[in-house]
């Protein structure tokens, strides 16, 4: 008998649908939980720890735009990037589906649904989520998650990973936005002796200062006004596994001391508590910033830098590994052709030339988005140069620090581009511009965004 695996969280305001799914899905998955609205979604994510969220698109009577579903899909991916989201709607709109997937949704199910298709989709989403979380990854299975390519620089990195992955060495991954720092972190975890446990990913730069300690270290009931229950922090969630702190360079200086203390002691004290709770983690950090320069400027603690920098891996930008562009594009074609049920199978020579000449300021992420769009819109079996729409204007992904020296008109353009390119993700837009979230909000208010 095959054991059932996976936790499925269903968010739907229709009681009949919830009852039907409570009968069907437990036959295929280990745990199934239903809630009638997103009101308790955050707490459900923390307590139930789903692999997949089956998310209704509409929760407000007489409003069927799907905007609520799109909003909450984005929020889920921000709160728990490793959790997969399957959108659930009675309105079969391909544009809505594409928009939802661009915001990180795994797939799109139309009501009334086919039971077999629903279970198949949720199973695929579960498998992807569990692999990303490290719940079912083993060293021999992890090759497919990382494309090493043919460049000498990536070959050297691969040798390093082969050596350090089975150890508990702390790793610092640096590189420009879109170079795949999070993918490499998952690869290291999947090859480690902790692969049977979770890898908990945290966007350190996206956590507000007031919630930093609570999110990372947890809090006890009554610690502050809204602390109605005990809250387990990310360090405790990662106990026995790997903690991935992304964008660590964005952590304010006064909070770095608190992070350093926990890393040194390998124990946390929840906010409002007094008991030291041991945590057994492997730490992987990542940033697109020059930490050595930040140390020289007094903006990053030197002792914290050396604590997280046992092994340093610098991922090269895509423009420095052009021999990998076409193989990466072909890999993405296979993924998106299957995802969107398209018959696209490859690139013609004209498309290869355009791809290899591209600047790719957004690196692999930009290439992936480019190929995704091309596969969706293509009408043939081979992508051509006409299908490849590369953004030729100056992108904001390398605009860190530039807002200090540009005119107001140029600043407005950069801010608007950042918001547009990030799909409305304020944290991502702020990172692209090299500014804090509060500053980003102020700029958006200034320009009426």
Q: Is residue 388 part of a domain?
A: no
pLDDT of residue 95: 66
The CATH number of whichever domain residue 70 belongs to comes to 3.40.50.2300
144 belongs to a structural domain:
no
Q: How confident is the model at residue 217 (pLDDT cuts 50, 70, 90)?
A: very high
In this structure, the strands spanning 276-278 and 171-174 are unpaired
What is the CB neighbour count within 10 angstroms for residue 274? Answer: 7
- C-alpha span between 93 and 374 (Å, rounded): 19
Same domain, 245 and 353: no
| Residue 355 forms part of a structural domain | yes
Same domain, 168 and 310: yes
- What is the predicted pLDDT for the residue at 47? 77
Task: At 235, give phi and psi (nearest 5°).
Answer: -60, -45
- In terms of Cα–Cα distance, which of 396, 324, 332, 383 is closest to 358? 324
pLDDT digits over 108-152, tens only? Answer: 888 889 898 899 999 999 988 887 665 443 333 333 557 888 888
Q: Kindly report, residue by residue over 430-449, the tens digit of the pLDDT.
A: 777 777 777 787 788 777 78
Question: What backbone torsions phi and psi does residue 83 show, to the nearest 5 degrees?
Answer: -80, 135
Q: Do 52 and 179 sit in the same domain of this protein?
A: no
pLDDT per residue as tens digits for the range 254-294? 999 999 999 999 999 999 998 999 999 999 999 999 999 99
Percentage of residues in the chain with pLDDT exceeding 90? Answer: 46
pLDDT tens digit sequence for 41-71:
887 887 788 999 999 987 764 445 557 788 8
Domain that holds residue 224: 151-314
The reply to whether 241 falls in a domain is yes
Other CB atoms closer than 10 Å to residue 298's CB: what's the count? 9
Per-residue confidence (pLDDT) for residue 80, from 0 to 100: 81
Is 339 in the same domain as 440? Answer: no
DSSP bridge pairs for 287: 174
Q: Please indicate, yes or no, if residue 285 is contained in any of the structural domains.
A: yes
Question: Which two structure tokens, joined as six digits, stand for 167?
Answer: 């150890």
Residue 73 near residue 85 (C-beta atoms within 8 A)? yes
CA distance 34 to 37: 9
Task: Among 276, 292, 314, identify where a domain stops.
Answer: 314
pLDDT per residue as tens digits for the range 345-392: 999 999 999 999 888 988 999 999 999 999 999 888 999 999 998 764
* pLDDT over 80 (residue 94): no
Rounded-to-5 percentages of helix, strand, coil across the chain = 50, 15, 35
pLDDT for 408 equals 67
How far apart are alpha carbons 398 and 291 in whole angstroms?
Answer: 16
The answer to whether residue 86 scores a pLDDT higher than 70 is yes
pLDDT band at 222 (very low <50, low <70, confident <90, very high): confident
The β-bridge partners of 269 are 276
Q: What confidence score (pLDDT) does residue 437 get?
A: 72
What is the token pair recorded at 335? 């993924």
The number of domains in the chain is 4
Confidence of residue 204 (pLDDT cuts 50, 70, 90): confident
**Beta-strand relationship, 171-174 and 267-269:** unpaired
The half-sphere exposure of 384 on its side-chain side, counting CA atoms within 13 A, is 5
**Closest by CA position to 235, among listed 210, 208, 271:** 271
Distance between CA atoms of residues 161 and 284, nearest Å: 12
143 lies in some domain: no
Examine the pLDDT at 410 and tell me if it is beyond 50.
Answer: yes
Q: How far apart are CA 402 and CA 108, in angstroms?
A: 39
Report whether pLDDT(402) > 70: no
What's residue 147's pLDDT?
82
Do 431 and 325 belong to one domain? Answer: no
Does the residue 1 lie in any domain?
no
Q: Would residue 145 count as lying in a domain?
A: no
Better-scored residue on pLDDT, 34 or 150: 34
Same domain assignment for residues 190 and 308: yes
For range 33-38, the mean pLDDT: 91
What are the pLDDT digits (tens) for 95-109? 676 678 877 888 888
Residues 317-354 have pLDDT tens digits of 999 999 999 999 998 998 898 888 889 999 999 999 99
Same domain, 166 and 309: yes
pLDDT for 130 equals 82
306 and 422, same structural domain?
no
**DSSP per position, 80-128:** -TTSEEEEEESS--HHHHHHHHHTT--EEEESSPPHHHHHHHHHHHHHH
| DSSP secondary structure string for all residues of 130-197 | HHHHTSS--GGGGGGG----S-HHHHHHHHHHHHHTTS---EEEE-STTS-HHHHHHHHHHTSTTTTS
CB 342 within 8 A of CB 372: no
Q: Average pLDDT, whole number, for the chain?
A: 84
CATH code, 416: 1.10.10
Output the pTM of the full model: 0.59
**Rounded to whole angstroms, how far apart are CA atoms 93 and 90?**
9
Same domain, 164 and 124: no
What per-residue confidence (pLDDT) applies to 109? 86
Comparing CA positions, the residue from 259, 249, 273, 246 lying closest to residue 212 is 259
End of a domain among 314, 331, 351? 314
Residues 160 and 309 in one domain: yes
Quick one: 158 and 294 in the same domain? yes
* Residues 79 and 106 grouped into a single domain: yes
What is the CATH number for 361? 1.10.8.60
Q: Out of 133, 168, 199, pick the residue that ends a domain.
A: 133
Q: 414 or 65: which carries more pLDDT confidence?
A: 414
For residue 65, the model assigns a pLDDT of 56
Q: 131 vs 243, which has greater pLDDT?
A: 243
On the question of pLDDT at 163 being above 60, the answer is yes
Question: DSSP string spanning 241-279?
Answer: SEEEEETGGGS-HHHHHHHHHHHHHTEEE-BT---EEE-
């Amino acid at each position: 008998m095959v054991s059932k695996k996976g936790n499925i969280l269903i968010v739907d305001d229709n009681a009949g649908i919830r009852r039907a799914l409570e009968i069907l899905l437990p036959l295929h998955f280990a745990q199934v939980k239903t809630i009638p609205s997103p009101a308790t979604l955050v707490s459900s994510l923390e307590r139930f720890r789903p692999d997949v969220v089956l998310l209704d698109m509409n929760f407000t009577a007489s409003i069927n735009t799907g905007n609520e579903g799109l909003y909450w899909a984005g929020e889920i991916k921000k709160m728990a990037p490793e959790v997969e989201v399957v959108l659930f709607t009675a309105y079969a709109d391909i544009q809505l589906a594409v928009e939802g997937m661009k915001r990180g949704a795994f797939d799109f199910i139309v009501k009334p649904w086919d039971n077999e298709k629903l279970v198949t989709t949720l199973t695929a989403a579960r498998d992807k989520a569990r692999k990303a979380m490290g719940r079912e990854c083993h060293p021999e299975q992890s090759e497919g998650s990382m494309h090493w390519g043919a460049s000498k620089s990536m070959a050297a990195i691969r040798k390093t990973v082969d050596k350090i992955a089975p150890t508990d060495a702390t790793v610092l991954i640096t590189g420009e936005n879109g170079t795949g720092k999070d993918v490499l972190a998952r690869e290291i975890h999947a090859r480690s002796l902790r692969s049977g446990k979770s890898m908990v990913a945290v966007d350190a730069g996206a956590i507000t200062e007031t919630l930093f300690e609570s999110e990372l270290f947890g809090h006890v009931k009554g610690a502050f006004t809204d602390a109605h229950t005990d809250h387990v922090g990310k360090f405790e969630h990662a106990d026995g596994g790997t903690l991935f702190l992304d964008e660590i360079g964005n952590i304010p200086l006064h909070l770095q001391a608190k992070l350093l203390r926990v890393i040194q002691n390998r124990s946390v004290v929840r906010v409002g508590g007094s008991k030291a709770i041991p945590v057994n983690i492997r730490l992987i950090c990542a940033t697109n910033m020059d930490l050595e320069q930040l140390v020289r400027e007094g903006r990053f603690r030197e002792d914290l830098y050396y604590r997280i920098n046992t092994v340093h891996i610098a991922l090269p930008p895509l423009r420095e590994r052009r021999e990998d562009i076409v193989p990466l594009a072909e890999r993405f074609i296979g993924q998106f052709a299957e995802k969107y049920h398209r018959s696209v199978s490859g690139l013609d020579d004209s498309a290869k030339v355009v791809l290899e000449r591209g600047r790719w300021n957004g690196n692999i992420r930009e290439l992936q988005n480019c190929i995704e769009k091309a596969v969706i819109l293509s009408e043939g079996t081979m992508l051509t140069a006409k299908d490849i729409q590369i953004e030729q204007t100056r992108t904001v992904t390398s605009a860190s620090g530039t807002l200090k020296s540009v005119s107001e008109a140029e600043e407005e353009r950069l801010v608007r581009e950042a918001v547009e390119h990030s799909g409305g993700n304020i944290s991502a837009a702020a990172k692209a511009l090299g500014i804090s979230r509060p500053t980003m909000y102020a700029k958006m208010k200034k320009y009426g965004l």
